[in-house]
Amino acid sequence: MLKRCGRDGRRYVVGTIRTYAKDIRFGMEARGLLLKGMDIMSNAVSATLGPRGRNVLIERLMISPRITKDGITVANNVQLEDRRCNMGAQLLRQTTSKTNNDVGDGTTTATILARGMASQGLEVIRQCQVNVHALREGILEASRVVCEELQSMSQNVETIGEVEAVATIALNGDKRLSDMIGDAVLELGEAGVFLLKESKSLRDELKVQEGVTLPEGFVSPLFANQGNGNRVEYSNALLLATLAAIERLDDILPALELAKSMEQPLLIIANDISEEVVKALVLNQVRNYLRVCAVKAPSYGSEQRDQMQDLALAMGANLLENATRLAAVEGEDLGVVSEVIVDSSSTHLLHPRIHNEDQVHARVQHIGALMEEAVTDEEVDKLKERMGRLFGHLATIYVGGTNDLEVSEKKDRLNDALHAVHGAISDGIVPGGGTAYLRCIPALDALPRPDRSEHQIGRDIVRNALRLPCYTIARNAGVNADEVVRKVLEGSGSFGYDAAAREYCDLKERGIVDPTSSLRAAMSEAAGIASLLATTEVLITEEHISPKVPRNEVTKDLAGLIGM
């Protein structure tokens, strides 16, 4: 409480004026409101699925609207006026975001599966008294079985034609762009890294550059100097690579003085950087005293040491092992990089000025020997990534178009295609068009009957949801979706429906395939959100209340107190 004397000397007690109260809903009402929001979100996103999916036009203030067929872009732009329904939309957005972060593709499929499972689960709860925890266990168990079945039917990508087939599906049939991706993969190999940039011309172009990409971005967005404050770009930059934890600015003062005297920007990649040092570096950057950017070294322990040694070698720098070595840094310890691009999640280093070919070759041979001794596929993949960094190849696709709308829409599709290709190369491919999910139904039917009926109901919920991707693709193509699902179920293997040609065929022979990792991630995330909704009992949101306080001496004193 606040106390203040009035004009006549008396004391007034000024209480808190509440502008928000909590709106609390329970049981089926709460779950129904959440489902309503999920329905709206899913309807918007599912319209984009398949080769005949529809475009979505998104309003942007003060500039032209954005047109897209990218599921995650649509999901990120859905905001509902009703707070309670909006929480349901946010839950579904969480599914798409997680799927996008994990595999970069399959977000629309994840949305459709999650809504389908959630609506079935709530209908079961509405009709009868069930144990929601047993229901949740059934959903999660069935999703695991589906993921295992998808992996068992997965086939490795062995040809560039298969790579281009995966890209073509993600690009909605754009063969020219898929051929461009195929050419890039052929030149760079499995460990290749791709960037998307807007072209200054109308044409799409592919350029392959030397460089190294790290899966870590800047430690503060205040370092950004390009891209509306979300990207750092420097030319002819010095590179300081160290395994030391930088606790004080004095630790790197010699390196900063070198960069200042040489009038070159400085990129610092270190094991750790204290908040005090980050603030000081940002201050130097903001005041234009020194162009600098700080990035944390990727990974931990011995793996971090290996990656940092690879980086230093590829960039012509010396890896500084500790604080003592850092304090004694000299000009020859710093690498020189022609171009540095850093965003919130990655760091790209292009064209090292100093490159010791003999040392790099010896390092590549060493990694090759380690690959021969590796026991697991995971170890082999990590070593391949290290070798790719040492080779230092980076492909940039410059996206052209007649206007911003065309370029933006094309970049969305290319981004999906690149993620799909990486997923297909690493985890294999399965028949597309929703067929792979339909082929998982027999695996669920073969499971032994559980003791609890709710557990079986959970399995059936997932079983029914497996029909939805194929159904939605057919519906968006304007054909009888029920008939399409029935005919595909009657077939076997990669027999399915080509929505673009509106005919049945062997999908694999026609190049209609999906990355296994995308379908598995979509199923796993969708089951998690749907089972969470089934166990939700209370919904709490903020409800705005317009303050109604009479104009008297108390309110006048309060206004004076806060300077009004």
Residue 477 belongs to a domain: yes
- The tally of domains found in the chain comes to 2
Its pTM stands at 0.64
Is 130 in the same domain as 227?
no
Question: Do residues 516 and 438 share a domain?
Answer: yes
Query: For the chain, percent helix, then strand, then coil, each to nearest 5?
Result: 50, 20, 30
Identify whether residues 29 and 150 lie together within a single domain: yes
Contact 557, 564 (CB under 8 A): no
Judge whether 383 lies within some domain: no
Query: Considering Cα of 300, then 301, then 303, then 306, what sign does the dihedral take?
Result: positive
Whether 218 and 349 share a structural domain: yes
At residue 293, the pLDDT reads: 94
Please tell me whether residues 335 and 223 are part of one structural domain. yes
Q: How far apart are CA 540 and CA 292, in angstroms?
A: 45
261 domain residue, yes or no: yes
**pLDDT at position 276:** 92
Q: Is residue 389 part of a domain?
A: no
Last residue of a domain, one of 328, 355, 382: 355
State the pLDDT at residue 383: 79
- Is residue 290, in this structure, part of any structural domain at all? yes
Which CATH number is 301's domain given? 3.50.7.10
Do 228 and 351 lie in one domain? The reply is yes
Cα separation, 510 vs 390, whole angstroms:
37
Token pair 């021969």 is at which residue?
372
Token digits for 525? 């995330």
Q: Are residues 149 and 221 in the same domain?
A: no
Shared domain for 453 and 533, answered yes or no, is yes
Residue 328 lies in a domain: yes
Say whether both 30 and 139 belong to one domain: yes
Q: Could you read off the pLDDT tens digit of each residue along the chain, which spans 564 residues?
A: 444 444 455 554 444 445 567 888 888 888 889 889 999 999 999 998 988 888 889 888 877 888 888 888 888 889 998 888 999 898 888 877 777 766 667 788 999 999 999 999 888 888 888 888 999 999 999 999 999 999 999 999 888 888 888 888 888 778 888 899 888 888 777 656 677 778 888 888 887 766 788 889 999 989 988 867 788 999 999 999 999 999 999 999 999 999 999 999 999 999 999 999 999 999 988 888 899 999 999 988 888 999 898 888 888 899 998 888 888 899 889 999 989 999 988 898 887 766 667 787 788 788 878 877 877 767 876 776 777 677 767 677 888 888 877 887 788 888 888 888 888 888 899 999 999 999 999 999 999 998 889 999 999 999 999 999 999 999 999 999 999 999 999 999 999 999 989 999 999 989 899 999 999 999 999 999 888 888 888 888 887 655 554 545 544 554 455 454
Domain match, 464 and 346 both? no
**551 inside domain:** no
223 and 345 inside one domain: yes
How would you class 463 by CB atoms within 10 Å of its CB: exposed for 0-12, middle for 13-18, buried for 19 or more? middle
Identify whether residues 222 and 342 lie together within a single domain: yes
Q: Which of 300, 335, 355 is the last residue of a domain?
A: 355
What CATH number has the domain bearing residue 68? 1.10.560.10
Domain contains 252? yes
Give me the domain span that covers residue 508: 23-154+433-540
Sign (positive/negative) of CA torsion 111, 114, 120, 122?
negative
| Three-state SS sequence of 54-115 | CCEEECCCCCCCEEECCHHHHHHCCCCCCHHHHHHHHHHHHHHHHHHHHHCCCHHHHHHHHH
Where is the domain boundary, 355, 370, 390?
355
